[in-house]
Chain A
Amino acid sequence: MFEQHLLVLPIVLPLIAAPICILLMKSHLAWVFATIISGLSFFISVDLLFATLEQGVLNYAVGGWESPWGIELRIDAASAIVLSVVTGISTLVLVYAKESIAKEIDSSRHTLFYSAHLLCLTGLSGILITGDAFNLFVFLEISSLSTYTLVSLASDKRCLTAAFRYLVMGTIGATFILIGVGMMYMKTGTLNMLDLANRIAEYDGNRTINTGLAFILVGVSIKLALFPLHMWLPPAYTHAPSAVSAFLASTATKVAVYVMIRFIFTIYGAEYVFFTMDMDIILMVLAIVAIFKCSFMATVQSNIKTVLAYSSVAQIGYMILGISLVSSTGLMAGLLHVFNHALMKGALFMAVGAVFYRIGSVDIKAFQGLGKQMPLTMAAFAIAGLSIIGVPLTAGFVSKWYLVTAAIEQQHWIVAFLVLIGSLLAVVYIGRILEAAYFKKPSELTEGKTIKEAPILMLIPMWILVIANIYFGIDTSLSVTAADTAAQWLTQSIPEPFVSIPSVVTEETIK
């Protein structure tokens, strides 16, 4: 099987390319090289996605050591979806980055940026592909360490304190995961995920296993910025270079959500986590509070990057809510939102970066009157914003639809209602910006200046994401099928009465 050997490439390619980027010395050479490498990874990931949809799971024994002794790489539909998103967004962001970092990062550090970006990509791909719990920790740290450096590359000095705070929080989170993995190993003596899953089932309710679960969930929650452990995220996303914010917002937290899904559904098993430990109610409450608190915080910020950062935390709430509903539809909605949210947030941050490129500010005042001056950028922002709100015919609508459906299926009527009310807050914070852009007179920041449209290299990736937002809002067959397959596969461990009715209505029920 050729695909099986493809499996290792998304990790190895960027890993080897990262130091070469620094050796290339020239900024534009490094840019071309990094973009090609990332593009290659993307094609491999899409190929892997289709392969997993056909054949289920692919695996690869690193160094020829068979699992559970060696490190196993394995990819199923869930990881393949997220992998395609990560590599795809990474490629688009790299295309976008050339112009964007020219304004935001000191030119002597450009090659370092590309190198750190590729390392981050290595780490994220590694997390998604590995089948080994400890290996996952290592890749998590590879991606995190390169993320801290990426955040600190901006020319604004506040990025340094933001990066430091991120480093402290991120390291605590990672160490918690390490403790959790250690406790699992202590009891079971294995680190392979599938092997762990089998053996954990034998130790039902053991205290060490329980404690390990607690450490891992808290650690992962820090990494994915689940309320109230999200405090590192808004400053980091606000002060990072726009290209980095676009990349991190649409990939890093998504991968962390994937890690949570992996630990809950594959390793510990949904039955144990949700019915023995009652984690669902904790996650559900935190998710709903995240949606409301952070959507509300987003409505009162004047820095647009902060608005988008808080919105990200709120959107993560939707994904966790999907997981906490304990049904295949809920998990599917969560996965679908991981995919769709990457598309929207990537486009939004790119649009904001384009505004910064032309005006040098991301305050809401800078947006005033921009609808006429940067029509393409603002149109992209508007469409991606509508997708965040969940307007029909955009990708955001599809995931909200499934999320609410899942909530109603589980008889959580109030949760379903709260999700819809939550999207009204999105109407407010996106509406504010659109109102400024289209209906307000230019402020003193932009008054009298002629502002040109963003450069074409920024517009193309932005609009690819915008079009993807619309495309996946209308033709949902690919995204829904992939998420559905992944969710079905992951929720096999949920006992019968809790597996929801199939989301696909058959011909008979209509007639």
Chain B
Amino acid sequence: MSFIIDYYNYWIVVFLMMAGFYIVISANNLVKKVVGLNIFQTSVFMMYISIGKVTNGSAPIVAEGITTYSNPLPHVLILTAIVVGVATTAVGLALIVRIKRAYGTVEENEFKDKDDLI
């Protein structure tokens, strides 16, 4: 039991990750795929953020009387990763807009019938 409680942050991460992954694989709608991809990425961001937490640590701002800080580096890292994630979403959505224009649909099975992608 303590195995579950002690590591609850990882359980959340794993759950989100698998949920996102499942959506990417199973969704037929391309927008839903991008949403799934976002959930998938977000789970990783959460993992990074949660590992930066130090027990009893305060926010990493220098203040008097505080000796334990949480690790700020993962937050900084994940800021970059979020930017990357947003850019990916933007490119993905832009592609979907063009796919909609070219094929008239964003449902994967519908345009798959129209041309045989290798």
Q: Is A299 part of the contact surface with B, judged by Cβ < 8 Å?
A: no
Question: Could you tell me how many residues of chain B have their Cβ less than 8 Å away from some Cβ of chain A?
Answer: 31
Q: List 21 A-B contacts (CB under 8 A).
A: A138-B80, A138-B84, A141-B88, A148-B91, A157-B103, A158-B117, A161-B111, A161-B117, A164-B95, A164-B99, A167-B88, A167-B91, A178-B81, A179-B44, A182-B51, A185-B74, A185-B77, A191-B77, A234-B118, A235-B117, A303-B118
A235 and B99 form a contact (CB under 8 A): no
Main secondary structure, interface of A, reads: helix
Known: A157-B115, A178-B81. 11 other contacts (CB 8 A): A145-B87, A148-B95, A160-B102, A162-B117, A167-B91, A168-B37, A171-B41, A171-B92, A175-B40, A175-B44, A178-B44
**Which residues of chain B are within 8 angstroms of A171 by Cβ–Cβ distance?**
37, 41, 88, 92
CA distance A175 to B81 in the complex (A): 9
**Which residues of chain B are within 8 angstroms of A185 by Cβ–Cβ distance?**
51, 74, 77
Q: A138-B80, A167-B88 are in contact. Are A160 and B47 (CB under 8 A)?
A: no
**Which residues of chain B are within 8 angstroms of A402 by Cβ–Cβ distance?**
none
B95 and A160 form a contact (CB under 8 A): yes
Neighbour of A164 across the interface among B51, B74, B81, B92, CB < 8 A: B92
CA distance A186 to B95 in the complex (A): 35
Neighbour of A175 across the interface among B30, B41, B87, B98, CB < 8 A: B41
**Which residues of chain B are within 8 angstroms of A235 by Cβ–Cβ distance?**
117-118
Chain A, 156-192, contact with B by CB distance < 8 Å: what is the 0/1 string?
A: 0110111111011001101100110010011001010
**Which residues of chain A are within 8 angstroms of B69 by Cβ–Cβ distance?**
none
Q: Is A149 part of the contact surface with B, judged by Cβ < 8 Å?
A: yes
**Which residues of chain B are within 8 angstroms of A168 by Cβ–Cβ distance?**
24, 33, 37, 92
Q: Is A210 part of the contact surface with B, judged by Cβ < 8 Å?
A: no
**Which residues of chain B are within 8 angstroms of A189 by Cβ–Cβ distance?**
71
Q: Is A152 part of the contact surface with B, judged by Cβ < 8 Å?
A: yes
CA distance A145 to B96 in the complex (A): 15
Which residues on A are within 8 Å of B, measured CB to CB? Answer: 134, 137-138, 141, 145, 148-149, 152, 157-158, 160-165, 167-168, 171-172, 174-175, 178-179, 182, 185-186, 189, 191, 234-235, 238, 301, 303, 306
CB distance from B118 to the nearest CB of A (A): 5
Neighbour of A160 across the interface among B40, B71, B80, B99, CB < 8 A: B99
CA distance A186 to B53 in the complex (A): 11
A157 and B102 form a contact (CB under 8 A): yes
A238 and B92 form a contact (CB under 8 A): no
A-B residue pairs, 3 tightest by C-beta: A157-B102, A141-B84, A160-B99
Highest count of chain A CB atoms <10 Å: which of B33, B88, B103: B88
Q: A175-B44, A182-B48 are in contact. Are A167 and B95 (CB under 8 A)?
A: yes
Neighbour of A306 across the interface among B30, B44, B118, CB < 8 A: B118
**Which residues of chain B are within 8 angstroms of A138 by Cβ–Cβ distance?**
80, 84
CB distance from B91 to the nearest CB of A (A): 5
Neighbour of B47 across the interface among A148, A172, A182, A234, CB < 8 A: A182
A172 and B40 form a contact (CB under 8 A): yes
B92 and A167 form a contact (CB under 8 A): yes
Q: Which residues between 49 and 107 of chain B lie within 8 Å of chain A, taking CB atoms?
A: 51, 71, 74, 77, 80-81, 84, 87-88, 91-92, 95-96, 98-99, 102-103
A145 and B117 form a contact (CB under 8 A): no
**Which residues of chain B are within 8 angstroms of A157 by Cβ–Cβ distance?**
102-103, 115
B95 and A179 form a contact (CB under 8 A): no
**Which residues of chain A are within 8 angstroms of B30 by Cβ–Cβ distance?**
164
**Which residues of chain B are within 8 angstroms of A137 by Cβ–Cβ distance?**
81, 84
CB distance from B106 to the nearest CB of A (A): 10
CB distance from B45 to the nearest CB of A (A): 9
Closest residue of chain A to B37 (Cβ to Cβ) is A171
**Which residues of chain B are within 8 angstroms of A148 by Cβ–Cβ distance?**
91, 95
CB distance from A122 to the nearest CB of B (A): 14
Closest residue of chain A to B21 (Cβ to Cβ) is A172
CA distance A244 to B99 in the complex (A): 20
CA distance A158 to B47 in the complex (A): 37
**Which residues of chain A are within 8 angstroms of B71 by Cβ–Cβ distance?**
189
CB distance from B98 to the nearest CB of A (A): 5
Q: A168-B24, A185-B74 are in contact. Are A160 and B33 (CB under 8 A)?
A: no
**Which residues of chain A are within 8 angstroms of B74 by Cβ–Cβ distance?**
182, 185
Closest residue of chain A to B108 (Cβ to Cβ) is A161
**Which residues of chain A are within 8 angstroms of B37 by Cβ–Cβ distance?**
168, 171-172
CA distance A232 to B103 in the complex (A): 20
CB distance from A100 to the nearest CB of B (A): 21
CA distance A511 to B44 in the complex (A): 61
Highest count of chain A CB atoms <10 Å: which of B80, B103, B118: B118
B87 and A141 form a contact (CB under 8 A): yes
**Which residues of chain A are within 8 angstroms of B44 by Cβ–Cβ distance?**
175, 178-179, 182
CA distance A137 to B91 in the complex (A): 18
**Which residues of chain B are within 8 angstroms of A179 by Cβ–Cβ distance?**
44, 47
Highest count of chain A CB atoms <10 Å: which of B37, B48, B95, B98: B95
A145 and B91 form a contact (CB under 8 A): yes
CB distance from B84 to the nearest CB of A (A): 4
CB distance from B44 to the nearest CB of A (A): 5
CA distance A326 to B99 in the complex (A): 45
CA distance A138 to B87 in the complex (A): 12
